[in-house]
Chain A
Amino acid sequence: MSSKREMPLHHTLELKVPFKTEQQAVIATRVLSPDPILKPQDFQIDYSSEKNVMLVQFRSIDDRVLRVGVSSVIDSIKTVVEAMDELS
């Protein structure tokens, strides 16, 4: 964890999810990124992908909001990965 970002959102977490291919990482990024955050002043997510790795950066006002937000994103990632495994 690091905390050198914009002032109020001190609590941060970086998630790196490796996929089998670069294309899969791009798909996952595109699937997850459109949804708006309910309280953008409390919580922010940035999605990006580099080669076969999806990078998710979370910033939040406290660790509770961070934990809830991260676990909900991980739940969504599970669906994406399952769909890739089972349906392609």
Chain B
Amino acid sequence: MVNLNTIPPKNNRNYYIALGLEGSANKLGVGIVKHPLLPKHFNSDLSYDCEAEMLSNIRDTYVTPPGEGFLPRDTARHHRNWCVRLIKQALAEANIKDPALDLDVICFTRGPGMGAPLHSVVIAARTCSLLWDVPLVGVNHCIGHIEMGREITKAKNPVVLYVSGGNTQVIAYSEKRYRIFGETLDIAIGNCLDRFARTLKIPNEPSPGYNIEQLAEKAPHKDNLVELPYTVKGMDLSMSGILASIDLLAKDLFKGNKKNKTLFDKKTGEQRVTVEDLCYSLQENLFAMLVEITERAMAHVNSNQVLIVGGVGCNVRLQEMMAQMCKDRANGQVHATDNRFCIDNGVMIAQAGLLEYRMGGIVKEFSETIVTQKFRTDEVYAAWRD
């Protein structure tokens, strides 16, 4: 049992308010979360049921032209340009007039992510903390996703599939830590999709993965999957080989290389595969790998719930495939959220940071706020869980 009410709310209020700042990749997010102070949290294991209220959730994405990825320096500049404006807007939306009085805590992403963008956001976080005299809490980005997913879906103890542009992990909770059961050995799934989108030169707006999903849906030859490497290694995955091989296929397709027998008919030279088919096959192949390791993790920890978090978690096809696997297991359930909470955002940082704050974890000196590109999920002591 855990007491989530260790630290009373500021000024004898009966609720907590947290500001969350996220900027580990190309999304800059500012969110404000409110938790009521409830007797049921004095001695329980209800960290997934805080009755959280989202007072504001604003995001601004740095979008690059088709065929280009986002670079750390330019992304950091974007975050610097927008950070203060977004904070101001979020406070106004949440109707917070005096943040020095109303905020209990300011939460920021300490890692993992790109160094320069993380740094530009932490500068704003530190300044606000000193200006308003409000304590800081550094949040692990992955933990933010997990806690937001649990709060939204009310999944008590799910196996977590964390799939985004920079991370691919299968996670299960045990003994005060979120343990990594399996992960990618090279690139993340979102990175694989993004880079294929660059090869295709399709727009990065709203997100490259979404555009691939839309193309895949229109694939004319769904019954004829293009063969790609399937690389599951125990509980881990590898995706760089898949990317290399689908990139090669796409280039041959654009060049009209008739020697490629996968793409063109041996005798007639007729085109057998379209760009849409490639998108479809890539998704099917990658998601099947994810489903396989997730199912194995579920068997290991004896769980029948899956929570999908991270940007790629918005993908409806992935949710569908996962649901099918869960249906075949006894009473299995898939929990997923929509793009407001799946894609990087500020409220998830506020949610995870506020849980930490309620357990008494705050930054005591600024040397603890130094951001870090590498910050593994299992490094975090989850004090708020039983």
Binding site for B on A (CB under 8 A): 27-28, 30-36, 75-76, 78-80, 82-84, 86-88
Contact = CB atoms under 8 A, between A and B. Distances in A.
Given A75-B80, A79-B120, A80-B127, A34 B370 contact: yes
A86 B119 CA distance: 20
B172 interface: no
Given A35-B370, A87-B87, A87-B99, A27 B80 contact: no
Contacts of A34: 126, 366-367, 369-370
- Nearest 4 pairs between A and B by C-beta? A83-B127, A34-B366, A31-B126, A27-B130
B163 to A, nearest CB: 31
Contact of B130 (A31, A75, A76, A86): A31
A88 B131 contact: yes
A28 B366 CA distance: 12
Nearest to B367: A34
Interface string B109-124: 0000000000110011
A80 to B, nearest CB: 5
B369 A83 contact: no
B8 to A, nearest CB: 26
B127 A27 contact: yes
A20 to B, nearest CB: 13
Interface of B: 77, 80, 83-85, 87-88, 99, 119-120, 123-124, 126-128, 130-132, 366-367, 369-370
B123 A76 contact: yes
Nearest to B100: A88
Given A79-B84, A79-B124, A30 B130 contact: yes
A87 B134 CA distance: 13
Contacts of A27: 127, 130-131
Best-surrounded residue of B83, B84, B87, B99 (most CB of chain A within 10 A) = B84
A87 B84 contact: yes
10 contacts: A30-B126, A33-B366, A34-B370, A35-B119, A76-B123, A79-B83, A79-B124, A79-B127, A83-B127, A87-B84
B178 to A, nearest CB: 27
B123 A79 contact: yes
Contacts of B128: 83, 87
A54 B127 CA distance: 15
Contacts of A31: 123, 126-127, 130, 366
Nearest to A26: B130
Contacts of B80: 75, 78-79
Contacts of B369: 34
Contacts of A80: 123, 127
Contacts of B120: 75-76, 79
Contact of B366 (A30, A84, A88): A30
Contacts of B87: 83, 87
A52 B130 CA distance: 16
A31 B130 CA distance: 8
A31 B124 CA distance: 9
A35 B371 CA distance: 8
Contacts of A35: 119, 370
A8 B77 CA distance: 32
A58 B139 CA distance: 31
A36 B99 CA distance: 29
B109 to A, nearest CB: 15
Contacts of B123: 31-32, 76, 79-80
Best-surrounded residue of B88, B124, B130 (most CB of chain A within 10 A) = B130
A32 to B, nearest CB: 8
B66 to A, nearest CB: 28
Contacts of B124: 79, 83
Given A35-B370, A79-B124, 5 more contacts: A28-B127, A31-B130, A34-B126, A34-B370, A79-B83
Nearest to B83: A79
Nearest to A36: B370
A34 B366 CA distance: 6
A30 B132 CA distance: 14
Nearest to B119: A35
A28 B128 CA distance: 11
A87 B126 CA distance: 13
